[in-house]
A and B are shown apart, each in its own frame.
Chain A
């Protein structure tokens, strides 16, 4: 059937059609303001971050140690009651050198988001955070890193209480 059809519907426009007013359009902004309570498990996680501790949770049934903590183990669907302080060190599971911001603006110095497997959690269990104090080309998977914390008096119980992770050894 596609072979028999020459003209498909759909009319392409360009950015210029908006800029030059070739078409009518309506511009509006949506305002959304939210206050998310942290819940039980993440509440404990954030409170621990304020104390300079990365908190995990252990499933007493399947013995996984997960991070961030949660009240239910999604693998065996049993409650997770046991909170466990983990190390603030870990291993880079994967990373990116990102040259665009969330709203697609170009930046010169890349941001370095990474998944960091936290020491004390089960294998492949990590959190997303940023890497810092490192020369971007030298970042590699398997690199050992440690959290750099905000000064205790400035911490507010947020994931940003960890500024970034930096290499454990000089690279």
Chain B
């Protein structure tokens, strides 16, 4: 394939908060403005805009992409919103990547925004509509069910203990204590705190879950010739992949995310990665629930099936370990404004690979990182590999 090289050259983000005073448009603008400032560009330099935001039902606004478009700087420009549920945050930079890699545009602004607090009293109820209206919704399901059902199947299949899964939550929330935008960073949280937190839908407890949040993240993507003009520290998008499994989720293996594996293999092949466990220096798997980070590490081939928890037990996943996992603090710690949370992971890799992550900086001058998101009805995997 003849594709142009594409780099991330700028990034910006808002704080992730339970409720933001700013509207969704205002959050979008704040992140976009900061991303442009960070690479000294203006809207005149931007040729197209890609926007990611998750279900319209959170906002109660039909065509939420168009609604947000002025905050995202999209007017009188080619504009498209992408949406693959929770996978959106890592899909929207893929969309931006192919806008540039194809040769169609030289500079693209990528914005991901979520305002979940508008839905009253709790955004969880908005998720009810992801279940099939005829075969599932009459049972009055809630979103926690599918996570609890998947987590239980995952734990039972491989004999994983809750104590080990709780380590994920502890490490991510501790990492987030060093993130200036984090909602739930906590340097002192312990495994006991997680195990003693309120049981919501066993085996899911309060601290196994990431918080509902408002926030926005933006990136500037540029073709190689532009990149060389604007920065001497580009971070290249080296591989992308995405994959969708059946929506008949009760008809598949819940212990292993095959779709994440396929997305990862696509990205590894593009990036020329043969041994991901040696070649990926930082992993940012999607972690809306603690077990999901483990589930995804296995799908990403960064751990054997049922063995991902061992990475945390052995300290491999720690910020100063051999393969740091979610040094940002992840969704569990920084917060989970759906689409923005995924793009936060890409922004984290950008800062980490440039050596600009401050307190969160992974030692050893990491050269390559992977970010992944997941969503829809537990069926989509999106993967981006970045390197310098």
Where the two chains meet, the residues of A that have a C-beta atom closer than 8 Å to any C-beta of B are 1-6, 8-15, 17, 23, 27-28, 30, 34, 36, 38, 42, 45-46, 66-68, 70, 74-75, 93-104, 110, 113-115, 124-130, 141, 158-160
Contacts and interface: CB of A to CB of B under 8 A. Distances in A.
B138 A2 contact: no
Contacts of B180: 2, 5-6, 8
B201 interface: yes
B13 A66 contact: no
Interface string B106-141: 000000000001001110110010000111101111
B21 interface: yes
A115 B378 CA distance: 14
Given A1-B11, A38-B134, A127 B20 contact: no
Interface stretch (B63-71, B246-254, B300-308, B314-322): B246-254
B202 interface: yes
A1 B233 CA distance: 11
A102 B143 CA distance: 7
B15 A115 contact: no
A10 B138 contact: no
B139 A42 contact: no
B60 A30 contact: yes
A3 B357 contact: yes
A103 B121 CA distance: 8
B149 A95 contact: yes
A158 B180 CA distance: 50
B351 A1 contact: yes
B238 interface: no
B134 A46 contact: yes
Contacts of B20: 10-13
B248 A74 contact: yes
Interface string B287-298: 000000000000
Contacts of A30: 60
23 contacts: A4-B356, A5-B180, A9-B14, A9-B15, A10-B14, A10-B214, A12-B19, A13-B117, A30-B60, A38-B134, A66-B251, A94-B156, A96-B145, A96-B201, A96-B202, A98-B148, A99-B198, A99-B199, A100-B201, A103-B121, A113-B139, A113-B145, A141-B152
A4 to B, nearest CB: 7
A10 B34 CA distance: 12
B193 interface: no
A23 B354 CA distance: 40
A85 B121 CA distance: 43
A11 to B, nearest CB: 4
Interface residues of B, number: 67
A16 B204 CA distance: 28
A97 B149 CA distance: 9
Ordered nearest first, which 7 A-B pairs have the shortest CB separation? A3-B358, A96-B148, A10-B15, A94-B153, A10-B14, A9-B30, A98-B201
B339 to A, nearest CB: 16
Contacts, number: 181
A55 to B, nearest CB: 12
Nearest to B350: A1
B351 A13 contact: no
A6 B195 CA distance: 34
Contacts of B141: 102, 113, 128
A120 to B, nearest CB: 14
A144 B365 CA distance: 54
A115 B250 contact: yes
B144 interface: yes
B273 interface: no
Given A8-B15, A15-B19, A23-B21, 7 more contacts: A3-B358, A10-B15, A12-B17, A96-B144, A102-B124, A104-B142, A160-B138
Given A8-B181, A9-B30, A14-B19, A99 B201 contact: yes
B72 to A, nearest CB: 15
Nearest to B152: A94
A68 to B, nearest CB: 6
B139 A99 contact: no
Contacts of A95: 149, 152
Interface in B311-370: 351, 354, 356-361
A2 B190 CA distance: 27
B140 A102 contact: yes
Nearest to A23: B21
Contacts of A100: 142, 144, 200-201
